[in-house]
Structure formats: C-alpha cells, structure tokens
Amino acid sequence: MVVGFLIHSLDETQITYFSYFFSAHLNDEQSTKRQNLIISQVYQNYDKKLQSFDLLQTNIENNYSKQLMEKSVGVGVFRVPESSLFQKPKVVVWKKVLNLCYTLILSPDENRMAAQHFLKFFIQLLNEHFKNNTISSKPKLLLTKPEEVLILIEKTIPNGNLIYANSFVVKNLRTEIEATILNKKKNLKDLETKKGIKK
Amino acid sequence: MSNNPSFPFPEEKTQKIFSKFQLVVQNKSQGNELVDSLRSLLLSYQFSKKKPRLNKEQKTFLINIIKNPNSTSIMKSLSSYILRTTSGYSKGNVLQITLKKSNGEALESLICFLDLWVDGRRLEKKIPQILSWISRDQLLTEQIIPFLTPILSDHPFIFEKKTRDAFEKQFITCLTRASLNSAVITGSFWRQASPIPVTEFDGSKCIDFFTVLNCSQSYTNDQMTNVYTFSLLYSWLQTLYLDPIEKQKQQEEEEEEEGFGNNEDFEKEKQKEKGNIKIIKMNERFCEAILKYCLRTLDQSVTKISTEQSPKEAEVIDSNIQEIVEMESIRILTLICQIDPGQIQKVTSIIKKIYERRKTQKHSLHPFVEIMNFVIINIEQIKYDFQPMINSIFGEKLFDLYYNSLECFDLLEFVLINRELLLENYPSIFSKHFLAFFRILAWNPDEFSLEFLELLPTLIHPGNYLEIFHTLLDLPILSLCLELSLYKDLEKNVDLASFSEILNYILRKESSSNSGSGSGKNNINFWDQNEYLSALQEFLESNKHSPRVISCCKIVPILLQIYFDVLISYASIKEIQELSIIMFNRYFQLFAKQSFLNKVQKLILEKTMSFFAGNPSLIFDLNEQFISTLQSLSPGIDYIGKIDFLISITWIIGEYANKKIEARLNNEIISTFFSSIEVIAFEYLTIVEKSKKNKKGSSKYSMGLNESQFQKQRQSQSQSQTQSQSQSQSQSKFQIEYENKINFENQFLMKRFGNKSETQSLLKQISTEQGKNQTRLLITLILALTKIASRNHSFIQRTLVIISKIMQHSEKYNFLILERAEEAAKLLNNPGIASLLFDMEKSARSQKNSYNISDEKSSLPFLLLENDSQNESFHNFFF
C-alpha cells in the first residue's frame, strides 16, 4: 500500500508542495515531521549522487555510461526503519523531474516496480493536464490549482492503491480526470448563475 | 490566491485564511467563494508551520459539502482532503458526525471516510451495510474496493470469516466476469455508438475473460473494479491468510525454544493464544479464481504489443506493465502456495516455464527476484535445479546492475528476508558471489547502508573472512574504481594502463578465495606488492574523492565493528591468529583519508586487544610477527597511528609475555621481546632529548612506507643492543638517518595529502598531539619493561639503566613520566614485591573464542557452523 505521496523540491529549501497521507494514523500532529524526515533523506541521497556525478561527468568519455549515470542520479529507493514517527518500517521510492521530486512512501511488501511505473504515468498525466511538459520546473504554477493536483492523485492512487495501469487505463484516467475537473467548472458556472438569478 | 506564495506561510496569513473560512461557514457560501476559501485552507495546511485545528461547526460544514449532491467534485475533494489531513488529530470525531447523519442519506458520504476510521470496532458494525451496498451496486463496489487496502492495513480483525467470504464472493465476480465490451460512448444525437470489444495487446479480440492486461477503449465500472481488485489481492492474501499462519509458526518456534512443554499452565495459555490466531482455510472457489486470473495474466505478459493499436509512448507503458503484472502475478502465486501448499506442484510448472522463457531475454532483475523468492520458499517441494539461475543472477547480472538502485534494493531485500533459507540451500550466493554485494554497497553507500549492516554477518565464512577484511578496508578504493570504470574505457585508456592490474583486481568478479583452499590466503594484498604500490599511490592521488567515496569511508568502521563482532564470537584461534597478522599488515596500508585512517586504526587496535583478552596464547603464536613489526617501524618518525600502534603492542607484550600465561614462551622469545622494547625506549629517549635541545628542529612525521633499507639497519642495531658501546653507536647512527629522512617524509606527506595547506594543517594537528602521545608511549614502554623484568630478574639492571637515563635529564620529561619511572625503579629495587605484582598467573579468561571449527574449508558462514562449546548451531543474525 502507498501510505504517503509527496511532491517537493530537491534543493536546500526542501519545500513540500504537496503531501498526501493515506492512513488516518499518519495524519496526526507528527505528519509534518514525518514528511520532513523523508524529504531530507531523499535530498541527502540525491545530493550525494549529484555531486559524485558532477565530479565525474566532465571526464565521461562513453555516452552510454553518461546516460546510465544521469538516469541513476534522478531516481532512488531506501528503507525507513521503525521509529517513533513510523510504527512499521517503510520503503521510499523517489523520482526527480526538473525542479521537483515525486516521492512515494510504501509499505515494505508493496510492488516497488509498480510504484516506479506509477511515478512515470503520474508525471505524464500531470504534464498533459497542465499542457506543459516542463510543469515540474514551475512548481508554483501547480499551487495555483492545487485542487486539480488533488483530483489527479485521488484518481491515480485511489486510497493508496497502486493501479496496474496499461496505456488504455491511463487514457481512461486522463478522460475521467478531465471530466471531473470540467464538471466542476460547469457546476460552478451553474451555481454562479443560480446565485445571480436569486440576487 | 497569490501566484507567488511564500514558504512557510506567516502565522498572520494562516489566521486570515481561517477567519475567511469561518465567514464562509457562517454565510454557507457557495461557488467560487467557497472553492477559493477551501483552496486557501488546503495551502495553509501544506505551508503553515502550526497546523490550525477545525472546530465542530467547520467540520460539519465540510461534511455537508461532501454529502451535498450539488457540490462539485472539486469541492468534495478539497473538503475531504482537509478533513483527512486533520483526521489523526480528531481521532474519529469526523466519523462520529458522519455516522449520526448518514442514516438514510447519501451513502457516498460514508464511503469518503471509510479509511479514516481510527476506531476499527465502530467500522466493524457498519460492515453488513457496506456488504449490502457492494452486492447490489456496481458503482459503489468500484468506489469501495480501493478503501479496503487502508482498512486491511489498519483494522484487519474486521474481516472475520463471514465478512471475508462475502467480500471474496464479490471479488470472484469482479475478477472473472468483467464486461468484454468497452463502455458505450454516446455518439451523435441521432444514434448510439455500438459497443467496441475489448482487445489483447496484439490487437486481437479478447475471447477469454477480462484482466488488467486487456485493452478497453472506454472502461466500464466492472472493468475498473477488475483492475482495483487485482491491485488489492496481494495485501488481502498477505494480511488475512499469510500473516496469521506466520504468526502461529513464530509462536510455535518460540514455544519450542522455551521448552515449557510439561507445564500445565503453559499448555493452557498456549491453547488460549492459539484460539486468538484464527487461521482460516482459503475458499476454494476464490483460490481457483485467483489462480485462473494469474495464469491468464502470465500468458498475456508475453503478448506482442501491436504498434497499430498503441502509439510509441503507449507501447513503452504497455511493455512495462506486462513485466510488472507478471511480477505481481508471481508474487500472488507464491502467497497462494504458502497458504495452500497443495498448489505448489501446479504453480511450479508455471514458474519453470516463465523462467525458461525469461532467461534468454534481456530483462530487468525484478521478475527473477520473484521467481527466486518462489523457489526458495518452496525449496523442499520443488525438484528442479535452480543453481544455474543463481549463478547467472549473482555471478553475472548483479555485477553489471550496481548502478540501478531499484533492482539492487529488491535483490537485497530478497536476500535479507530469505537469508537463512539461502544459506542452507544456495550458500554459494554468499561464499562465492559476495563481491557483487560489496560492489552494490560501494556504489550506493548511503542508500543501502542499513541493508548491508544486516547482511554482512551472513557473508563472512571461514573460506572468505580474510578476503572480506581486505575488501572492507578497500571499499573506498572499490568505489573510486567503479566510478573510473564507468567514465573511462578501461581497456583502451592509455592513462590507466599503469593502474590496470590494480583496477582489474579490485573490480574482479570472482573471489580469490575460490581459487584455492582454506581461508582465502590466495587473495592478493596489493598493498604488499611493491610493483603495485607506487602505481596505487599515484592512482589515489590523481583522483578526487567524490561524496560517494567519502560515504564509503564513513560506513567502513561501522561494518568493521560488525565484522570483528562475528569473528570474536565465532572464529577459532587459528583464524584469529591469521586475521591478527593481516590486521598488523593492513594497519598502515589504508586509504589515505585522515578521518578514515584514524577510525579504522583505532578499531584495529581495540580489536587486537579484544583478541588477546580472549586468547592470551596468541602472544606465542604471533611472537615473530610482533618482533618483526616492532623492528620494522622507523624510529622517531610518526606515521599516522604509529604511536598508538606501538603503545598497544608494547602493552600487550608487557601484559602477556609471561610463562605462567603461555607455557610455550621460552627465555629466548621473552628476551627478544625485551630487547625490541628496550631499543624503542632508547630511541624515544633520544628523540625527546634532541627535540628539547633543538626546538627549531624540523618536522619529523612520515607515512613511513618503503622502509626496507631502514629496516635492515634496525635489525643490526637490535642485535648489538646488549652492549652499551654499540648502543651509543646505533643511537648516533639513528640520529643521522633520522635527519636525512625528514625531507623525504615531508615530501611524501605532501604527495599523499595533496595541497600544501592541507599538509601544513595536518602537521600542526600532529604536532599538538605529539607531546601527549610521546608521554603515553614512554609510560607504556617503562611499564612493559618493568613487567617483563619483574618476571625475569636478569632484565632488572637493563631496565634501571633506562630509568636512570630519564631521571638524569628529569627537566626534559613530563612529570607523569617521571612519576612512573620513579615507581618502576622503586619496584625493581624490591624484586620480590615486583614479582608479586606482575608475575601472577592469570585466570583463564573467556573461553568462548577457543572452540574449533571442524571443517575449515566449509562454505558455511561462521553463523551457521556448529559451535561445540556452546552447542549453538545458529546465530540470531543480529549484531
């Protein structure tokens, strides 16, 4: 099960743009501490990988190796041991795209390959929804429509379930997300009109 | 909302948002005003340091938004998110409000909060109602099934047999009876579009039942429910069937260990506890449905993807999902076999087919990990040789995948969870292929340190413990070499030609322990090879140390501690003896990062002391090593860690060079010990005297490598030490050599530690420590000489000569040295009292290290070997 999903920066600021915990137990007073712990660990892992890569990349002669290194810098996985913040151990899978990092907190027996797959199609849906392939470079733009990001999360990991989504399910989700958001806009218009009539 | 929010929100801003929301609640505002307010509230929960609490009125308002059929999805989502975010604070208040008002109202309102039930017992009461909904309404089923995952995780007890059966009955329908046509899309207003049939990935029409690997142009509710149900299966089976079985097994094991079989109260307690763990046999129809579904997805996972049906981007998603679903199906089948062993034979034949199919293709490690997991769990029932798979994965694939953290993580987790079974059935994973694990660690020292701390004890066995010791100490160099091998073509690169032998050795795939018998004595310590050494120094200096290398330096001392703990607890004296020799050699042969050097050297000395505490007879076994080491150390030149090294060895000799402790020690050995310490004492006295005469004297620190010439002269010096004339000659000889070496040593230090400022700061640091260290050393030397002399009175006069030399120049020595010297002189002038103090028979200390391993060529790790003395065959695997 996915117990939490975070969208955050991966620089020294470590800003959380979005956090979603799928269990009542994790939505308590400690939730901020919990998310900060995960983000700081992701940041440390990423930062060290990046620094090592920066040190080496000017010398890399082999293009294939360079691609491999680049790929391995932007993704990661690690275990979070049992602690006062997490009663049971968890596994964290993260993926960095431009200025943002998308991080899943999983129960240890979750299918991690499916988690990685989710991150790929979630980011693809996010880009498509905002009609901007570089939306991850403009995190503040996401905050102008947090409710739409919310709908995207709810549809793609309903209650912390990783969906085994092929391209047709992804297409279906895309349609459903757009319909939900469009419906909102339509309904809002209707409500405004009704209100106007009353006035 | 502002387009440029600041982080975190200032408290006033949060207050403002809340006041505005309160107004919205009071006015029961709707439309954009409400959405804006909810949006701001969401952001304030994300970005405020202090999370505001909702009052009852506000909560009720949000619940009413969710229940109101006229609310938009966005309003509902925002309200639900806000309530969810605060749910842990209010411990079920939200649900109590919802429950009271949900009777007869929109069921949806209750569904929204299914996963927020902190109080599982209250939710349990609602289960019949939920079951009645899902049996009659497909749309509600689609909505409810995803909620089952968090409920399973938080309140598994809710699913008693009756409830479980009812849900499973529904799951069978969801899994096997989803529609084979896409949802009907209403076309233009004069006619309705005809239903489009569901297809396979190759574009052919689906003729069997629908699964997650089928393609539907527009998903119907039951098709989506099918997808959700498949996602739920693993946690359902794990939580409701396997967990109770494992809990019961664990309890039985604990009972066996405690051995309270005859105790009546205990038997009653046992029965009671068994009653609490309810193991329910799996419903046959449900089991069949899952098997059928998984088998179908396994067949579908090799269907060729039609490029006509899927554009290129979609093709990537689909080929990925084929592999992921294959992996998930194997995971589910493995669970089914654990729950119902009757299915093993049937499933094994399927797994074999998948393996045969996969082994020739280039695929990621993930499905192989799941296949191995199935094999190892059911190893007793499976009659199939999976050794080639093990060899291919651990001997080849793993070596080239160290940079893929996700695949490595899966593999490490698999190995850790199944280590006992793997050790019994495929010990070669650890004894033969352990270098692959070190490669993963060297590349991912930060990410996988936890895993490696657990794994290390499993890797160490009598055949490889020495090679593992070298590998651990050289971990930073392995990391450096891996980086180098990635960015340069090693075979063609001219710059690397001189390092090629070192690189090839460090990056070797096969353990050198495997090429010969015994404890890996065939492995090369390249630090001992003069032809490699200069190339190694050059190699280490010419490459900057990346954070990865630095992280390796940090984790090595922690791993070494675990390594020594295993050896101290389980190795025989012979193995400890062999390791001690290597430890001496490697003390100065370490990666040149100062903090790394300090920590590792300190640990080596600490553990040497522990080895002697457990096995004092080592003093005889290692006497030649001790003497040659003492004679090989350049006098007056402080390599990093040299004085600590001398202090430890001198102390050990003083403490254990006693015939009453080790009867094999003869007068000749004890005399050589005494002479070696005596020479060192004289040398240090000379240094102190000289440094006081000439305070301006240049620096005298060295890394002390390449000292063979110096060593020869020291040997001749040692032989002539008994005569006072030759003593003064050797001292003056030493002074000349000492002056000559200073420049060379400084140059060496500069070379090794890079820039001038770093070298200077290092010299300064060493300089402040120097006085303290020399005092400690001289005190230990006096004490060691006194101890030996008190046991053999023929050495008393020679010891007193040294003491008198100190007393004659008392102004040059620290008062602590003078105090010790005075005490020693008083004692030695009363030999009877001295003997009484230092010539005691030691009671045999812990004997736990003295057991013998019967088969020294065993491939089993230390943890699995029979321990005769303690009758413990298994280690608990935790350190």
Question: Does the structure show a pLDDT above 80 at B124?
Answer: no
Q: Is the pLDDT of residue B252 over 80?
A: no
Rounded CA-CA distance A159/A81 in Å is 23
Question: Residue B646 has what pLDDT?
Answer: 87
Mark B542-574 as b/e (b = at least 16 C-beta within 10 Å): ebebbbbbbbbbbbbbebbbbbbebbbbbbbbe
Is the CB of A29 less than 8 angstroms away from the CB of B89? yes
B312-343 pLDDT, tens digit per residue, is 778 888 888 999 999 999 999 999 999 998 89
Q: Give the residue from A123, A125, A127, A85 showing the smallest Cα distance to A104.
A: A123
CA-to-CA distance for A82 and A111, rounded, in angstroms? 20
**pLDDT exceeds cutoff 70 at A196:** no
pLDDT in tens, B391-430: 888 888 888 888 889 999 999 999 999 999 998 888 888 8
For B28-178, where are the alpha helices, taking DSSP H only? 31-47, 56-67, 73-85, 87-90, 93-102, 108-111, 120-136, 138-154, 161-176
- At B490 the pLDDT is 55
Give B827's pLDDT tier (boundaries 50, 70, 90): confident
Model pLDDT for residues B591-632, shown as the tens digit of each residue: 888 889 899 999 999 998 888 888 888 888 888 888 888 887
Query: What integer pLDDT is reported at residue B767 of this predicted model?
Result: 55
Least confident of A44-48, A58-62, B270-274, B349-353: B270-274
The answer to whether A116 contacts chain B (CB < 8 Å) is yes
Of A25, A168, A180, the CB nearest to B88: A25
Q: How far apart are CA B633 and CA B646, in angstroms?
A: 9
pLDDT value for B89: 53
Contact B79, B113 (CB under 8 A): no
Query: Is A117 at the interface with chain B, CB within 8 A?
Result: yes
How far A166 CA sits from the closest chain B CA (Å)? 5
pLDDT digits (tens, 9 = 90+) for B486-509: 766 655 555 666 667 777 888 888
Distance (Å) from the C-alpha of residue A14 to the closest C-alpha of chain B?
Answer: 10
Count chain A–chain B contacts defined by CB atoms under 8 A. Answer: 257
Is residue B717 within 8 A of residue B710, CB to CB? The reply is no
Task: Out of A13, A15, A22, name the one closest to residue B150 (CB).
Answer: A22
Q: What is the pLDDT of residue B362?
A: 66
Q: What is the mean pLDDT of residues B353-358?
A: 85
Edge-to-edge strand order for the sheet containing A75-80?
Answer: A16-21, A2-9, A100-106, A90-97, A75-80
The mean pLDDT value for B109-128 works out to 62
Q: Which pLDDT does position B730 carry in this prediction?
A: 41
Q: Domains of chain A (ranges plus CATH)? A: 2-165 (3.30.450.60)
- Provide the H-helix boundaries in A58-166: 63-73, 112-129, 139-142, 146-156
Report the residue of B93, B111, B405 to disrupt the A interface, i.e. the one with the largest count of A CBs within 10 Å.
B405
Q: Is the pLDDT of residue B210 over 90?
A: yes
Q: What is the pLDDT of residue B506?
A: 86
What is d(CA B113, CA A159) in angstroms, rounded to the nearest whole number?
Answer: 10
Res B187: pLDDT? 52
User: Chain B contact for A82, CB < 8 A?
Assistant: no
Q: What is the pLDDT of residue A65?
A: 73
- Chain A contacts of B329, Cβ < 8 Å? none
**Cross-chain Cβ contact B231/A55 below 8 Å:** no
How far apart (Å, rounded) are the C-alpha atoms in residues B35 and A19? 19
pLDDT band, very low/low/confident/very high, at B737 (cuts 50, 70, 90): very low
pLDDT, residue B327, reads: 94
Q: What is the pLDDT of residue B722?
A: 38
Instruction: Answer whether B488 sits within 8 Å of A158, measured CB to CB.
Output: no
Q: Which of B54-58, B671-675, B685-689 has the highest mean pLDDT?
A: B671-675
C-alpha B81/C-alpha A159 separation (Å) is 12
Least CB–CB distance from A143: residue in B32, B43, B81: B43
Query: Which of residues B129 and B220 earns the better pLDDT score?
Result: B220
Query: pLDDT by residue (tens digit) across B441-481?
Result: 999 999 999 999 999 999 998 888 999 999 999 999 999 88
Residue B566 has pLDDT above 80, yes or no: yes
Q: In Å, how far are B245, B445, B655, B783, B819 from B822, measured between CA atoms?
A: 72, 52, 20, 11, 5
Average pLDDT of every residue of chain B: 77
Chain A neighbors of B88, CB-CB under 8 A: 24-29, 31
- pLDDT for res B872: 36
**CA pseudo-torsion sign B267, B270, B275, B281:** negative
CB-based contact B1 A172, cutoff 8 Å: no
Please report the pLDDT score of residue B470 as a whole number.
93
**At residue B752, does pLDDT exceed 50?**
no
Supply the DSSP string of B41-65, one letter for each residue: HHHHHHHBSSPPPPPHHHHHHHHHH
What is the average per-residue pLDDT within B565-586? 88
B749 pLDDT band, cuts 50/70/90, is very low
For residue B571, pLDDT over 70 is answered with yes
If one compares B64 and B633, the residue with the highest pLDDT of the two is B64
Q: What residue in A sits closest to B315 (Cα-Cα)?
A: A167
Cβ-contact B539, B485 below 8 angstroms:
no
Ranges A88-102, B583-597, B799-813, B864-878: which has the least confidence: B864-878
Is pLDDT at A169 greater than 80 in this prediction?
yes
What is the pLDDT at residue A34? 92
Give the pLDDT confidence score for residue B264 in this predicted structure: 59
Interface probe with A: pick from B29, B73, B415, most Cβ of A within 10 Å? B73
- Is B321 close to A32, i.e. CB distance below 8 A? no
Q: Cβ B228–A163 below 8 Å, yes or no?
A: yes
Q: What amino acid occupies position B756?
A: K
pLDDT at A36: 92
Nearest residue of B to residue A108 by CA position?
B413
Q: How far apart are CA A182 and CA B399, in angstroms?
A: 51
**B574 confidence band (pLDDT: 50, 70, 90):** confident
Amino acid B103: pLDDT: 47
Confidence of residue B555 (pLDDT cuts 50, 70, 90): very high
The Cα A166–Cα B81 span in angstroms is 27
Minimal Cα–Cα distance from B756 to chain A, Å? 22
pLDDT at B84: 80
DSSP annotation of B240: I
Does the pLDDT value for residue B699 go beyond 70? Answer: no
Q: Which residue of A has its CA nearest to B552?
A: A48
pLDDT at B117 over 90: no
Q: What is the pLDDT of residues A3-60, one digit of tens each?
A: 999 999 998 888 889 999 887 778 888 888 899 999 999 999 999 888 888 887 776 6
Residues of A in contact with B118 (CB under 8 A): 24-25
| Predicted confidence band of residue B518 (pLDDT cuts 50, 70, 90) | very low
Residue of chain A whose Cα is closest to the Cα of B148: A159
Give the least confident one: A48-52, B192-196, B840-844, B852-856. B852-856
Contact B84 A27 (CB under 8 A): yes
Q: How far is A56 from chain B (nearest CA, A)?
A: 7
pLDDT at position B463: 86
Q: What is the per-residue pLDDT for B723?
A: 39
- Whether A85 has its CB under 8 Å from any CB of chain B: the answer is no
Give the integer Cα–Cα distance in Å for A122 and B331: 24
pLDDT at residue B442, as a whole number: 95
Predicted local confidence at residue B757, as pLDDT: 59
pLDDT value of residue B432: 84
pLDDT at B121: 64
Residues in B touching A28 (Cβ below 8 Å): 88-89
Chain A residue with the nearest C-alpha to that of B301: A166
Check CB contact under 8 Å for B450 and A81: yes
Among chain A residues, CA nearest to B38: A147
pLDDT-derived band at A89 (thresholds 50, 70, 90) equals very high
Angle at the Cα of B62 (from B61 to B63), degrees rounded to 5? 90
DSSP string, B329-388: HHHHHHHHHHH-GGGHHHHHHHHHHHHHHHHTS---SHHHHHHHHHHHHTTTT--S--HH
> What's the pLDDT score for residue B712?
40
**Is residue A192 pLDDT above 60, yes or no?**
no
Q: Which of A108-117, A154-163, B137-146 has the lowest mean pLDDT?
A: B137-146
Name the minimum distance, in Å, from the CA of A132 to any CA of chain B: 17
Mutate to test the interface with B, among A166, A178, A192 (most CBs of B within 10 A): A166
**A197 interfacial to chain B (CB closer than 8 Å):** no
Q: Which of B353-362, B590-599, B766-775 has the lowest mean pLDDT?
A: B766-775
Per-residue pLDDT band for B199 (boundaries 50, 70, 90) equals: very high
- The predicted model scores a pTM of 0.81
Residue B388 in this model has a pLDDT that exceeds 50? yes
pLDDT at residue B234 tops 90: yes
In DSSP terms, B867 is beta-bridged to: B872
